[in-house]
Amino acid sequence: MGKHVLNNSFYYLFDPFFIPVLFFPRAWLPQIMAIMLIVKMVTAAFIFRGFLKYMGISEKTARLFSIAYGFIGWTSFYLWYNHFTEIAVIVPLVLFGIEMVLKKGQPWLLVSSIAILGITNYFFLVSACFFGVMYALFRYFQTLKTRKLKQNLIYLGIGILSFTVGLMICSLVVIPGLITAASSQRSEDSTYLSDLNELISSNDYAGFFNKIFFNWDDNNYQFRAFYPLASFFFPTTSNRYVTLFPTSGGWGDLNWASSLFIYSPMMISFFLSIINSIKKHKWSHLIAISLCLIMLFTPFFYYFFFAFSYGYGRWQIFIVIPLLLYAAMGFDSRSELRPKSWT
């Protein structure tokens, strides 16, 4: 029990959204935390609006989709994890910072957002860096032709340096946290990588393939493969399981479950965006969607984004943000998809 207290202490030690709570009487704690939750949701919406505007989305669309982002299913699912909701504030800043490096070579936002994320919640730092690198590489090659060769090389170096400096700044909090977490019972029980190595060593390639693509912690829990689909179409009703799958799996289902819900108008806009991408032959969009689908429906990535410590669905916030961005693009382009008889 003491180990869990030490692990959690690093979540709140320098959390900018928790520090104000300390200035109020302890009896006020539930009320102040509720107020800070509202502050986090509003801040997340404002930051996401800025990100959408920077990506070329119109003002009206940016406002509409930022409001949706402030109330996304992922935040609702993790309301009971007070130290998770600030992730919805910081992660858009990481992607915003990546875009600023790719467009203008400006590293300050990426460096500061990585540093703030590390001192605020080191648990999501690893997954944010993993996804951030994947996002940065995809966007780098997608926009490669918009820059000259020399500029491409310079911006690539700036991006690598930005991640490195950001990690160095937050290392005073992250390193002690990781040392403590590494000695916890949960880390000691992590066997995913060792299981994969054992399967390769025994030449059991069929078992290795099954472990990567189909084994959702246990062969008796294959229904977990449908969690992303259900959580996308149906709103969150519990913080213990995905709608339509009220199982009694306890903490296991809680860890694997999450929410991709972004509200019906945004879902419709997402499918409009797909149609528009096909119409305009923007194949890079379809490649990105395919990669996200592979990650969502492959158990390997649920371990990968948390350094193979355990299978978690919490990383899906990194899918929700590009999802809403892509849907906003479709909403802005909706007039282009009208049949001629409508105009």
Question: Residue 165 has which token pair?
Answer: 């400096």
User: Percent of the chain at pLDDT above 70?
Assistant: 89
- Look at residue 11 and tell me whether its pLDDT is greater than 90: no
Identify the pLDDT of residue 339. 58
| d(C-alpha 298, C-alpha 256), whole Å | 12
Pick the residue with more confidence: 82 or 226?
Answer: 226
Identify the pLDDT of residue 182. 65
Identify the pLDDT of residue 341. 46
Identify the pLDDT of residue 343. 40
- Look at residue 213 and tell me whether its pLDDT is greater than 50: yes
Identify the pLDDT of residue 5. 53
Identify the pLDDT of residue 1. 41
Per-residue pLDDT tens digits for 249-273: 555 567 888 999 999 999 999 999 9
Nearest C-alpha neighbor of 77 from the set 322, 314, 251, 312: 314
- Look at residue 102 and tell me whether its pLDDT is greater than 50: yes
Per-residue pLDDT tens digits for 262-320: 999 999 999 999 999 999 999 999 999 999 999 999 999 999 998 888 888 999 999 99
| d(C-alpha 183, C-alpha 180), whole Å | 5
Residue identified by tokens 């479709």 is 330
Pick the residue with more confidence: 104 or 19?
Answer: 104
SS3 94: helix
- Look at residue 181 and tell me whether its pLDDT is greater than 80: no
Most confident of 83-87, 173-177, 217-221, 265-269: 265-269
Identify the pLDDT of residue 337. 66
Most confident of 16-25, 314-323, 330-339: 314-323
Identify the pLDDT of residue 153. 96
Q: For residue 141, give Cα distances in angstroms to 152, 233, 259.
A: 10, 31, 29
Most confident of 126-140, 163-177, 191-205: 126-140
Find out whether 208 and 199 touch, Cβ atoms under 8 Å.
Answer: yes
- Look at residue 202 and tell me whether its pLDDT is greater than 60: yes
Residue identified by tokens 């119409």 is 279
Identify the pLDDT of residue 305. 93
- Overall average pLDDT of the 49-71 stretch: 96
- Overall average pLDDT of the 61-83 stretch: 91
Most confident of 133-137, 181-185, 210-214, 255-259: 133-137
Q: Which distant-in-sequence residues (6+ apart) come within 8 Å of 305 by Cβ?
A: 126, 127, 130, 131, 312, 315, 318
Confidence of residue 6 (pLDDT cuts 50, 70, 90): low
Identify the pLDDT of residue 193. 86
